[in-house]
A and B are shown apart, each in its own frame.
Chain A
Amino acid sequence: MRLLRRIAYLFRRGGNAADVADEMAFHRSMIEHQLVQNGMSADDARDAARRTMGNETYMREESHHVWLWPSLEALWQDATHTVRALRRTPTFAIGVTLTLGLGIGANAAMFSLVDRLLFRPPARMIDPSSVHRLYLYRTSRGVEDQRGGQYARYRDLATYSTHVSQVAAFSRKSLAIAIGQDTRIKPVGVVSANFFGFFDAPPAIGRYFTASEDTPEQLARVAVLSYGAWQTEFGGRTNVLGSAIQIDAATYTIVGVAPDNFVGLWTFLPPAAYIPVSTYASTRPPKDWATTYGTAIGLELLTRRKPGVSVEAANADLTNALRRSYQRQYQGNAPLSELRPRALAASVLAERGPDASNTTPAAKWLSGVTIIVLLIACANVVNLVLARAMRRKRETAVRVALGVSRRRLLAQLLTEGMVLAALGGATGIIVAIWASGVLSAAFLPGTERQSVLGDWRTLSFAALLTIVAGVVAGLAPLAQIRHGDLTGDLKSGAREGGRQRNALRTLLLLFQSALSVVLLVGAGLFVLSLRNVRNVRIGFDADSVLQVKLNIRDARLDSAAKVALRLRLLDAAASFPGVTHVTLQESIPFGGMSSYPVFVAGIDSTDLLGQFDFNTVSSDYFATMGTRILRGRGIASADVDGAPLVTVVGQSMANVLWPGQDPIGKCMRVGLVDTVPCRYVVGVAEDIHSQSIEPESKLYFYYMPAAQWLPQVGGLFVRARNARLLVEPLRKRLQQEMPGASYVTVGCLGDFVDAKMRPWTVGATLFTAFGALALILAAVGLYSVIAYNVTQRKHELGVRLALGAGQSRVVRLVVMDGVRVATAGVAIGGAIALLAGRWIGPLLFDQGPRDPRVFGVVVTTMLVVATAASLIPAARAARLDPKSALQSD
């Protein structure tokens, strides 16, 4: 009721104020009337009545305050006062807004990425803390490996476990959807029917598939669309239920649509559709997919602990189930003491589990970098606010003298801080929208862009930063009020008493320049690392080569037809404008290599030497890839089926198989047994990288003519000028050759390599960006402090000039002030960077963390910038007119 009356009051506020004023006037006139009746003169009565009534304004205010939360009213006044003050000093307002905006924005964007990678449970999941991804291990020859992925293993774990309520199988595959020219590769969720039960996600329309449809006997061809695919591909029509959709090798009937923002477990690249595990597995080899333990089909497992079951208990239970599964696999004779099967229930977020990608560590330490940027931004804002507070010292002193309570003054400072921070926060959100796009493109290329605006977690994080920044910025001038000498402040202008308070500002400046040095050193080290990474000779020209992948969905094609198809595609690609070389291939460096046992006379087991991968190619392979032949010859068109078997080996392979001998003409046998015919080495090629940019050990390569191996298997490599521009035109041209539902995909080999370089690319780019930002902020901070000092010392400098100090002397005096601070900052920052070398070292590539070149450049840059920032106010100081400087206040 009180609340309603308060609100009613707010709406007729003016009316009520008039009422109170009127009734007081009535009251006063009644007193006056009484006095006149008692014999007083009219004039005296009026004065006496006024005296009796006392301060009417105060009474009106008090009456008014009864209705309001007085603090709210004060807050509003303070806020409008702040806004007015800011409009008078736009440079200050813009400076603070931009500084805080960049700091808050960078952190919000980074938070949004790291939160999704490491903290945020998948959307719509029920009780995510009890849900786990399951990882299975077994030991072989004393080494523990991660194993699993078979359908039979999944069924065993689901059957034998007792402490978990569900075990679901899932896998996100890139599958072709639709046929012909419309064929597109899309992520598809291959999931068991109970997968959906982990989520609170009633279908938008239709239904999910049921457990009875997802069995090796039933194999129902049913699919559930994602909400996004339903909207974009089917226009959100409800009659989509019952229609057919081609996914991979089979045609499925759409039975339902998942609700909006259901992404399964995949926040960054959610599937376009979901199909049953059994149905999908039945359309692919092997034929005994449901029962074999020998072939994995890439299934991952999801499980939920029963209520009250600890993670340890669940691990023990699942490990036990895994042991029983091995017993079943080995018909009761599993060598369990050697295999030591182990199940691990890890976080539902893949990046927190044992299979985390190389993105996560980079994201983690970059969050550290963004926090440094925020610290620098805050230091800068505090600096600007302090300078402003000192200029307003007299104003504050006047207000204190007039009886403003400390509490009220504090409230006003906080309000000012908050208004500034709010401006910064709003700018920060705009920055975050842009920056999160940049960050996800850098860290997770090819994934869906995440919106910042609809993301309350990121927005609350930004709000939290804003509030903290507001409190810091607001309370910074307190240091000065607390120790303020009121009368001194009232008498003096902005001139006196600034010295010891400047200590705080100098400290902030030191802090800023030190952190900037740290960031700049990081930037330098990463830029050099990236250059080293780029300079690594990986053995082929990834950026000039396109890889063509054949996806044959027509089972009626026999081997001969497939060979014919490959050769037809080879011709079509060779005659395509811009293409210079083409070759057959079946292995793709960085994208998956084939391997087979190798036998060489005099070596017991080549397995112990390392892994031998191969590629089967046609005559133009080495020209296409740009891989150099070091000895002998490459593969020739004469190396056909029936001609002598030949091979070209990599240099390291030649060295390890025939150390100190001429490899040309040596015999090597490739096959399951050592009785297969000899294959003669005809050439030695330079080594290539196929897994990482870093030096690879125990990884060897050789090449065989496709015609002498399996000519029907594999795709093409195409070399072209401006290869990336040809991806789509070439795909369209080659698709014309594809029969039935078959399709080709074309991609640049460079993309695989870029993914491997990403930690360094991201590090160099972001470190440089943040380092530059930090440098600018530090320069602005230095400039503002020096400029302020000059105003403070106007009187002193005026005296010096009047006594005949030369202009250059004054300039030197002022500049040295700035350079001194910067030098100290550089020293501290340099020391921190040297110490941090231990942690940053492992992130670098072929680069020492204490490179003197980097430190030299950074120190020079910092000092040059500091000198430049101090020169501007110094020049102003030198041009001072001694007379006016001495006269001014």
Chain B
Amino acid sequence: MAPGTSADLLPGTLDMLVLRTLVRGPQHGYGIAERVKELSHDVLQVGESSLYPALQRLLLDGYVEAEWGTSENNRRARFYTLTPTGRKQLAAERKEFERIVTAIRAVLEFA
């Protein structure tokens, strides 16, 4: 298995999805994985093996911040929050993603 990417996701989109789920507010790793699954109607699976390295990458880049808090079922959990730079990065990645998707669609439809 190639490390870092999940076979279920388009390459390079994991970071964007994680950032997107955090727009609604702070969330822990399990919550992020669940929310991606839920929002994509179970189509997209975020593998645990890529989620945590991805979160570390986002921490390193300063797009998210982490803080220990209490989960909905009163357990100690680490919550990730989107930073202003993270928000900007999300906007940029989203724009780039739209552009590529539009381009792919154009090719598929008219080739």
Residues of chain A having any CB pair with chain B under 8 Å? 1-2, 5-6, 9, 19-20, 22-24, 26-27, 29-31, 33, 52-55, 58-60, 62-67
Closest A-chain residue to B55, C-beta based? A63
In angstroms, Cα B95 to Cα A289, docked, is 88
* CB atoms of A24 and B52 under 8 A apart: yes
Task: Determine which residue in B29, B33, B47, B56 has the highest number of CB atoms from chain A within 10 A of its CB, and name it.
Answer: B56
In angstroms, Cα B65 to Cα A552, docked, is 88
* CB atoms of A33 and B73 under 8 A apart: yes
* CB atoms of B78 and A23 under 8 A apart: yes
* CB atoms of A62 and B29 under 8 A apart: no
The 24 listed contacts between A and B (C-beta, < 8 Å) are A2-B60, A9-B60, A20-B56, A23-B52, A23-B77, A23-B78, A24-B52, A26-B29, A26-B76, A27-B29, A27-B30, A30-B71, A31-B30, A52-B48, A54-B47, A62-B49, A62-B52, A62-B53, A63-B55, A65-B53, A66-B53, A66-B57, A67-B56, A67-B60
In angstroms, Cα B63 to Cα A420, docked, is 44
Residues of A within 8 A of B57 (CB): 66
Q: Does B84 contact A (CB under 8 A)?
A: no
Query: Could you mark each residue 63-77 of chain B with 1 if its beta carbon is under 8 Å from any beta carbon of chain A, else 0?
Result: 000101001010111
In angstroms, Cα B28 to Cα A29, docked, is 13
* CB atoms of A5 and B48 under 8 A apart: no
In angstroms, Cα B60 to Cα A54, docked, is 24
* CB atoms of A22 and B4 under 8 A apart: no
Closest A-chain residue to B31, C-beta based? A30
In angstroms, Cα B68 to Cα A30, docked, is 16
In angstroms, Cα B57 to Cα A55, docked, is 19
Q: Smallest distance from the beta carbon of A312 to chain B beta carbons, Å?
A: 60
Of the residues B47, B49, B66, B71, contact of A26 by C-beta under 8 Å:
B71
Of the residues B33, B47, B66, B73, contact of A19 by C-beta under 8 Å:
B66
* CB atoms of A5 and B62 under 8 A apart: yes
* CB atoms of B28 and A23 under 8 A apart: yes
Which residues of B from 74 to 89 have beta carbons under 8 Å from A? 75-78
* CB atoms of B53 and A59 under 8 A apart: yes
Q: Smallest distance from the beta carbon of B101 to chain A beta carbons, Å?
A: 28
Q: Does B61 contact A (CB under 8 A)?
A: yes
Q: Smallest distance from the beta carbon of A58 to chain B beta carbons, Å?
A: 7
Closest A-chain residue to B48, C-beta based? A53
Q: Smallest distance from the beta carbon of A331 to chain B beta carbons, Å?
A: 86
* CB atoms of A66 and B30 under 8 A apart: no
Which residues of B from 12 to 27 have beta carbons under 8 Å from A? none
Residues of A within 8 A of B30 (CB): 26-27, 30-31
Known: A29-B75, A62-B3. A23 touches B29 (CB 8 A): yes
In angstroms, Cα B78 to Cα A20, docked, is 9
Of the residues A22, A65, A67, contact of B78 by C-beta under 8 Å:
A22
In angstroms, Cα B53 to Cα A58, docked, is 10
* CB atoms of B4 and A62 under 8 A apart: yes
Known: A26-B71, A27-B48. A1 touches B78 (CB 8 A): no
* CB atoms of B62 and A26 under 8 A apart: no
In angstroms, Cα B52 to Cα A19, docked, is 11
Residues of B within 8 A of A1 (CB): 62
Q: Which 10 A-B pairs have the closest CB atoms?
A: A66-B56, A62-B53, A23-B78, A30-B30, A63-B56, A27-B30, A63-B52, A66-B57, A63-B53, A54-B49
Q: Smallest distance from the beta carbon of A204 to chain B beta carbons, Å?
A: 51
Closest A-chain residue to B79, C-beta based? A23
Q: Smallest distance from the beta carbon of B61 to chain A beta carbons, Å?
A: 7
In angstroms, Cα B33 to Cα A560, docked, is 114
Closest B-chain residue to A30, C-beta based? B30
Residues of A within 8 A of B71 (CB): 26, 30
* CB atoms of A22 and B76 under 8 A apart: yes
In angstroms, Cα B62 to Cα A2, docked, is 8
Q: Smallest distance from the beta carbon of A571 to chain B beta carbons, Å?
A: 92
Residues of chain B having any CB pair with chain A under 8 Å? 3-4, 28-30, 33, 47-49, 52-53, 55-57, 59-62, 66, 68, 71, 73, 75-78
Residues of B within 8 A of A55 (CB): 49
Q: Smallest distance from the beta carbon of A38 to chain B beta carbons, Å?
A: 14
In angstroms, Cα B75 to Cα A33, docked, is 12
* CB atoms of B78 and A26 under 8 A apart: yes
Closest B-chain residue to A29, C-beta based? B75
Q: Smallest distance from the beta carbon of A451 to chain B beta carbons, Å?
A: 46
Closest B-chain residue to A64, C-beta based? B56
* CB atoms of B75 and A26 under 8 A apart: yes
Residues of A within 8 A of B59 (CB): 5
Residues of B within 8 A of A19 (CB): 66, 68, 78
Q: Smallest distance from the beta carbon of B9 to chain A beta carbons, Å?
A: 16
In angstroms, Cα B48 to Cα A849, docked, is 79
Known: A55-B49, A62-B49. A26 touches B4 (CB 8 A): no
In angstroms, Cα B49 to Cα A64, docked, is 13
Q: Smallest distance from the beta carbon of B27 to chain A beta carbons, Å?
A: 12
Q: Smallest distance from the beta carbon of A54 to chain B beta carbons, Å?
A: 5
Q: Smallest distance from the beta carbon of A21 to chain B beta carbons, Å?
A: 10
Q: Smallest distance from the beta carbon of B31 to chain A beta carbons, Å?
A: 9
Closest A-chain residue to B58, C-beta based? A66
In angstroms, Cα B71 to Cα A33, docked, is 13
In angstroms, Cα B29 to Cα A22, docked, is 11
In angstroms, Cα B16 to Cα A876, docked, is 70
Residues of A within 8 A of B3 (CB): 58, 62
In angstroms, Cα B56 to Cα A2, docked, is 12
Residues of B within 8 A of A2 (CB): 60-62
* CB atoms of A59 and B49 under 8 A apart: yes
A26-B30, A26-B76, A59-B53 are known; give 10 further A-B pairs, CB within 8 A: A2-B60, A2-B61, A23-B29, A23-B78, A29-B75, A58-B49, A62-B52, A65-B53, A66-B53, A67-B60
In angstroms, Cα B71 to Cα A26, docked, is 10
In angstroms, Cα B57 to Cα A9, docked, is 12
Closest B-chain residue to A4, C-beta based? B62
* CB atoms of B78 and A5 under 8 A apart: no
Residues of B within 8 A of A53 (CB): 48
* CB atoms of B53 and A5 under 8 A apart: no
In angstroms, Cα B30 to Cα A62, docked, is 18
Q: Smallest distance from the beta carbon of A55 to chain B beta carbons, Å?
A: 7
Q: Smallest distance from the beta carbon of B103 to chain A beta carbons, Å?
A: 30
* CB atoms of A6 and B75 under 8 A apart: no
Residues of A within 8 A of B62 (CB): 1-2, 5
Closest A-chain residue to B71, C-beta based? A26
Known: A23-B77, A33-B73, A63-B53. A5 touches B60 (CB 8 A): yes
In angstroms, Cα B76 to Cα A80, docked, is 38
Residues of B within 8 A of A60 (CB): 52
Q: Smallest distance from the beta carbon of A17 to chain B beta carbons, Å?
A: 11
Q: Smallest distance from the beta carbon of A56 to chain B beta carbons, Å?
A: 8
Residues of B within 8 A of A5 (CB): 59-60, 62
In angstroms, Cα B71 to Cα A22, docked, is 13
Closest B-chain residue to A60, C-beta based? B52
Residues of A within 8 A of B76 (CB): 22, 26
Closest B-chain residue to A66, C-beta based? B56
Task: Determine which residue in B53, B57, B73 has the highest number of CB atoms from chain A within 10 A of its CB, and name it.
Answer: B53
In angstroms, Cα B38 to Cα A141, docked, is 108
In angstroms, Cα B72 to Cα A77, docked, is 42
Closest B-chain residue to A55, C-beta based? B49
Residues of B within 8 A of A20 (CB): 52, 56
* CB atoms of B52 and A59 under 8 A apart: yes
In angstroms, Cα B60 to Cα A24, docked, is 19
Q: Smallest distance from the beta carbon of B82 to chain A beta carbons, Å?
A: 17
Residues of B within 8 A of A29 (CB): 75
Q: Smallest distance from the beta carbon of B32 to chain A beta carbons, Å?
A: 10
In angstroms, Cα B48 to Cα A59, docked, is 8
Closest B-chain residue to A16, C-beta based? B56
Closest B-chain residue to A65, C-beta based? B53
Residues of B within 8 A of A26 (CB): 28-30, 71, 75-78
Residues of B within 8 A of A23 (CB): 28-29, 52, 77-78
In angstroms, Cα B76 to Cα A19, docked, is 11
Closest A-chain residue to B68, C-beta based? A19
Closest B-chain residue to A24, C-beta based? B52
In angstroms, Cα B3 to Cα A23, docked, is 20
In angstroms, Cα B53 to Cα A59, docked, is 7
